Amino acid sequence: MPVTKTTKRRPAQIERRRVVNQKRILEMRKLIKEANTLLSNKNIEEVEKMLPRIYKAIDKAAKRGVIKKNAAARRKSRMAKKISNLKK
């Protein structure tokens, strides 16, 4: 049973943070998935226009601790590698 005021408020804080983190994850995944479908259709120009938005979503998730720094770097690297492989 919670005793202090802060321990009573803790579940509400956790829920608010969980909702915000979930939004960041979903936005990031949505952009990556959209880019992958465009890449499968060989639409490289559209993906290159989307790249700054994808990087921004990944970087924000990493900055806020939703994903780890190396995971963010890996996702960005893989996206850039897919684009460069299709350009060849």
Reported as a single tens digit per residue, the pLDDT across 8-43 is 899 999 999 999 999 999 999 999 999 999 999 999
Task: Please state which of the four CATH numbers 1.20.58.110, 3.90.1150.10, 1.10.645.10, 1.20.1250.20 is assigned to the domain occupying 5-87.
Answer: 1.20.58.110
Residues 20 and 61 sit within 8 Å (Cβ to Cβ): no
Q: What is the reported pLDDT for 3?
A: 81
**3 phi, psi to nearest 5 deg:** -105, -50
Q: Identify the burial level of 28 via C-beta atoms within 10 angstroms of its C-beta, where 0-12 means exposed, 13-18 middle and 19 or more buried.
A: buried
Could you tell me which of 74, 51, 64, 77 has the C-alpha nearest to residue 22? Answer: 64
Alpha helices in the chain (DSSP H): 5-40, 44-63, 69-87
- Give the residue with greater pLDDT, 33 vs 88: 33
Indicate the average pLDDT of the chain: 94
